[in-house]
């Protein structure tokens, strides 16, 4: 057919040429940008997925930067704590030297006290000065704020981690399920043999009294009354860690031998040396299963089956449930370590810790330091950390005679300064302070090594995999694109030639007019 109004071959050739040119433009754009997706029309589904991947990668990159900054903060705090540790060790040496009263003059002790005062002031100064980018680290700014803490139940509370999870406060419930106990041995003052004197030793004997602090050997004459035995043992309590008391304050009821400290590390041993097997007329007893000692304990009323003959007994650590978590006890100290919700250290009062079923409640209302360690802002990707003040007035809290004493008590005029000659008390406070700093350093070191460093490595691996996935979706394959470019160029040239031929066909109609 010969028509000139409609050039159908030309239309077909032009449409194919337009597609070839469009494909050529796409290939040139991808090669120029290096991206397979330059606009939503290129691949709508791929664009959505790749943008999500890009957002996640961006969050993870910042999480790595956050972790690195948190490591720097922890390293700064740990460096300050190392200096405090050195100062505490130097104070320990000065106290031990001052305790050598037979070889050190009063002037030397005063000189030691001046050094102790200076070291304690330096500890408080470091506590106030340690900072990172204007953020105070060890002055209590980053410790948790507690409300409703009953000092009659809990002498000291250190919260090292708390996850609020969007709540304004955290209620902490403490319930003692197994009371703390001293080690206890009992001696009956009422002899079964009527020929033996009640309330007194039946024969001359030598007793070995041993406790957590040491051993002492005491000799007694026959007929020595039990209150005199008590006084003789108590004269060496500081050397043995064992005290004696009359049961119901009556020599006829007998004697109770107790450790001065609580927990499984405390023990009492009372042995008769050189006596008959089993102790003869001198036999001590322990409560079976390390049970609680009734306030009105008496051999006449206590079930005989709950007593067993023994010359040694150990104490018992407190056990308590804190917000559903079983705490780890050590004497009167209670520790709960749950990094996902709540971590704390408690020093319980004697009356509270030695009663089964005792309960106490307090609240964590704020404070602490929060570190964002993941790419998503939620509690599972955050770390909560509390850094308590290490000022001398807050460090080394130790219960002595029912009162809480701190490192500041070692300064001149304090209850445990060198002039008071309370060297054992000063040493106990120092040991507690050294332990606190050591635990803080260990906790921060474990956090940096086991949490932050591993977090960075895992995030880097995730970024590598996400970047590879995002690249596969979005980045141009140059080998494929150059091949497609060559094809598009050939098709464009061919389309141009074909369109020329199609336009020339219409001119053949002119031959019919000749």
Tell me what pLDDT residue 376 has: 85
Identify whether the C-beta of residue 50 lies closer than 8 Å to the C-beta of residue 37: yes
Q: Report d(CA 414, CA 391) in Å as an integer.
A: 16
Per-residue pLDDT of 389-445, as tens digits, reads 999 999 988 888 778 889 999 999 888 888 888 888 899 999 999 999 998 999 899
- Give residue 45's pLDDT: 85
Provide the residue ranges of all domains of the chain, joining segments of one domain with +: 8-34+476-513, 182-314
Q: 3-state DSSP call for residue 217?
A: strand
**pLDDT tens digits, one per residue of 15-41:** 777 777 777 777 777 777 777 777 777
For residue 197, the model assigns a pLDDT of 81
Q: How confident is the model at residue 192 (pLDDT cuts 50, 70, 90)?
A: confident
Which one, of 199, 196, 204, lies nearest residue 187 by Cα?
199
For residue 77, the model assigns a pLDDT of: 93
Entry pTM: 0.78
Q: What percent of the chain has pLDDT above 90?
A: 47
- CA atoms of 18 and 478, how far apart (whole Å): 23
Closest CA to 425 of 99, 169, 81, 123: 99
Sequence-distant (≥ 6) Cβ neighbours of residue 425 within 8 angstroms: 400, 405, 415, 416
The predicted pLDDT at position 277 comes to: 59
What's the mean per-residue pLDDT of the chain?
87
pLDDT at 3 over 70: no
Q: Is the dihedral of CA 365, 137, 446, 58 positive or negative?
A: positive
What are the tens digits of pLDDT across the range 328-351?
899 999 999 875 688 999 999 999
Q: What is the pLDDT of residue 484?
A: 74
By mean pLDDT, which of 61-70, 377-386, 390-399 is the weakest? Answer: 377-386
Phi-psi region of 475 (alpha: psi -120 to 50; beta: other; left: phi over 0): beta
Query: How far is 40 from 363, CA to CA, in rounded Å?
Result: 52
Q: What is the pLDDT of residues 170-182, one digit of tens each?
A: 999 999 999 999 9
């Amino acid at each position: 057919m010969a028509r000139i109004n409609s050039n159908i071959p030309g239309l077909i050739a032009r449409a194919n040429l337009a597609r070839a040119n469009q494909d050529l433009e796409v290939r040139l754009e991808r090669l120029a940008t290096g991206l397979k997706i330059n606009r939503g029309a290129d691949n709508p589904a791929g664009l959505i997925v790749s943008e999500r991947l890009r957002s996640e990668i961006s969050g993870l990159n910042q999480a790595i930067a956050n972790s690195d900054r948190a490591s720097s903060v922890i390293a700064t705090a740990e460096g300050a704590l190392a200096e405090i540790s050195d100062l505490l060790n130097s104070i320990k040496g000065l106290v031990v030297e001052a305790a050598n009263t037979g070889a050190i003059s009063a002037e030397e002790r005063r000189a030691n006290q001046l050094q102790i005062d200076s070291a304690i002031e330096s500890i408080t100064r470091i506590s106030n000065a340690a900072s990172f980018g204007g953020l105070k680290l060890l002055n209590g700014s980053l410790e948790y704020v507690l409300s409703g803490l009953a000092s009659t139940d809990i002498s000291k509370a250190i919260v090292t981690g708390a996850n609020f999870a969007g709540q304004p406060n955290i209620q902490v419930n403490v319930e003692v399920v197994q009371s703390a106990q001293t080690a206890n041995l009992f001696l009956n003052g009422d002899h079964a043999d009527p020929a033996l004197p009640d309330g007194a030793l039946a024969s001359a004997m030598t007793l070995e009294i041993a406790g957590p602090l040491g051993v002492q050997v005491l000799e007694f004459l026959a007929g020595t009354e039990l209150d005199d035995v008590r006084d003789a043992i108590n004269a060496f309590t500081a050397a043995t860690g064992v005290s004696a008391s009359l049961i119901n304050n009556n020599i006829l009821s007998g004697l109770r031998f107790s450790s001065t400290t609580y927990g499984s590390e405390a023990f009492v041993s009372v042995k008769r040396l050189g006596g008959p097997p089993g102790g003869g007329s001198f036999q001590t007893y322990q409560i079976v299963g390390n049970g609680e000692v009734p306030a009105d304990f008496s051999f006449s009323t206590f079930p005989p089956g709950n007593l067993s003959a023994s010359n040694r007994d150990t104490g018992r650590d407190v056990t308590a449930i804190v917000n559903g978590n079983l705490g780890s006890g050590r004497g009167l100290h209670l520790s709960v370590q749950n990094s996902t919700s709540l971590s704390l250290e408690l020093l319980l009062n004697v009356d509270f810790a030695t009663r089964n079923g005792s309960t106490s409640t307090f609240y964590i209302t704020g404070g602490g330091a929060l570190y964002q360690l993941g790419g998503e802002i939620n509690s599972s990707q955050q770390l909560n950390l509390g850094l308590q003040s290490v000022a001398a007035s807050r460090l080394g809290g130790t219960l002595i005679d029912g009162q809480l004493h701190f490192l500041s008590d070692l300064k001149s005029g304090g209850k445990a300064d060198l002039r008071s000659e309370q060297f054992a008390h000063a040493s106990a406070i120092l040991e507690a302070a050294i332990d606190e700093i050591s635990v803080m350093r260990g906790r921060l070191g474990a956090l940096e090594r086991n949490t932050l460093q591993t977090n960075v490595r895992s995030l880097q691996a995730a970024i590598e995999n996400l970047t590879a996935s995002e690249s596969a979706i979005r980045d141009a394959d140059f080998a494929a694109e150059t091949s497609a470019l060559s094809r598009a160029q050939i098709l464009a040239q061919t389309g141009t030639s074909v369109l020329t031929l199609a336009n020339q066909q219409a001119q053949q109609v002119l031959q019919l007019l000749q």
